[in-house]
Structure 1
């Protein structure tokens, strides 16, 4: 079991080298092909304007988007060129309006086993970075590996934290991450404050652990108390305590609108993650 078709998307030059290096390492370890997409995004939203001015604004915005696409493509080519010559890869460049970005990314993510992206949040990130991540997850129906600015320690993570809350999203994430889980030396299923009256009240995480072990995964369960304000804080601390190489979790258990306004474990994790985060919805 392995990923055979990988995709990475760059809407800017920020974080390209770290993301491509991580994706290339996984591709080499699993004998996969890496597709890279450079995006130039027209962010203009033409509303009311003077007669004739709209065309000027659109033309200027498209010129800027084309320049950004060329910069992103050059960064992708440079990053791929820094990898081993045995890497099988291809680079494509696309210019799109922000409103059509979802369709562009989803059309490619649907035919990829894994999408590798940089952190979508931060001072240097734009609205298009979050849009790319959500397009791959929701419309592309692909698992997404988010690579932090520090990069990925190893293309075959040896110690993995698997966040489990009995939700559909976390189960999908566990199944989609199986190629990583089966290669790991230790997979710790972390359950935080399990409900006392839930279906797994007598054995939190036990059935998932059984499923993984039957697939040859070296899994164990760790039940933790919520001793910090946010779930993401507990997960981040546990990842540091066990020196984890990767965190696997279900993405957006609440609506994206609620996560954007009120916050949620997914957004909180992606805003400050120190380790690669594997997401699936």
Structure 2
């Protein structure tokens, strides 16, 4: 699907790197940028309704407003279509509010600064993937993000999340020069990956005129995440597309082992879908 609205969630104290990535992506595809700036109250302080606490809260809100104003000024200089919202979080995490905003976006961005903030990154993933069902582009520090990739690695395991990720990234793959459908130790059985692992998804992509190659790789004692990351480097992939596994229950977000490892070892941008 085309990415016409990109939601960029960022912390109030670290906005510059994330805004730079977001504006670059929006310029590439002519998208509207929706920025959400989040500030969080100090943990364990919300129950103390003292004059000192109220004064601190007022200062935090003023700082958040000033940050949102600075974001608007920065974006106005880039001649982009944009809107800026702000959120002050005192009790629960911001995942619900992020999910509500994500309903009206085609893609959600986790920029380098949010990537370093493990708690906020988790909240963004929860709201985006597990509440709104929107694709998430994760841009690790030091990586170069693009919505016009030449080479894509599609991590495939014949599960629903992989299929959703492939569908959400279809337009990227149609415009790419090559797509490597990559499977690690696939189970060649009718109830798993089929008698010829990767053949079904390769045929599906080929019908969209996508130049697709199926790469079957052995783990050889390495983790799936390590194999995928190294193969992405070997084929000079610009982005890894994969499904996210996990669940969200009572605001507690838990990801599966491969998803967790891919995030921990991320060197390239990852487009996750669910």
- Give TM class, smaller chain: 0.7 to 0.9
Q: Is the 8 A contact 1:33 1:88 kept in 2?
A: yes
**What residue number does 2:40 align with?**
41
Tell me which of 83, 100, 122 is aligned to 1:107: 100
Q: 1:71 to 1:167 in 2, by over 3 A?
A: farther
Gaps of 5+ in 2: none
Between stretches 143-152 and 241-250, larger displacement belongs to 143-152
1:6 aligns with 2:6: yes
Deviations 1:135-174 (A, max 9, x none): 1111122110001111425441111100001111111000
Q: 1:133, 1:230 → 2: CA distance?
A: 23
Q: 1:272 to 1:77 in 2, by over 3 A?
A: farther
Q: Is the 8 A contact 1:13 1:75 kept in 2?
A: no
Q: What is the deviation of 1:115?
A: 0.5
State the secondary structure of the residue aligned to 2:241. strand
Q: 1:259 to 1:40 in 2, by over 3 A?
A: closer
**What residue number does 2:207 align with?**
214
Q: 1:198 to 1:234 in 2, by over 3 A?
A: farther
- TM-score, structure 1 normalization: 0.84
Q: 1:6, 1:121 → 2: CA distance?
A: 17
Q: 1:64, 1:128 → 2: CA distance?
A: 21
Gaps of 5+ in 1: none
Q: What is the deviation of 1:211?
A: 0.9
State the secondary structure of the residue aligned to 1:99. coil
**What residue number does 1:27 align with?**
26
Q: 1:45 to 1:153 in 2, by over 3 A?
A: closer
**What residue number does 1:234 align with?**
227
- TM-score, structure 2 normalization: 0.86
Q: 1:271, 1:82 → 2: CA distance?
A: 35
**What residue number does 1:175 align with?**
167
Q: Is the 8 A contact 1:11 1:129 kept in 2?
A: no
Q: 1:128 to 1:9 in 2, by over 3 A?
A: same
Q: 2:23, 2:51 → 1: CA distance?
A: 41
Q: 1:241, 1:78 → 2: CA distance?
A: 41
Q: 1:225 to 1:37 in 2, by over 3 A?
A: same
1:59 aligns with 2:54: yes
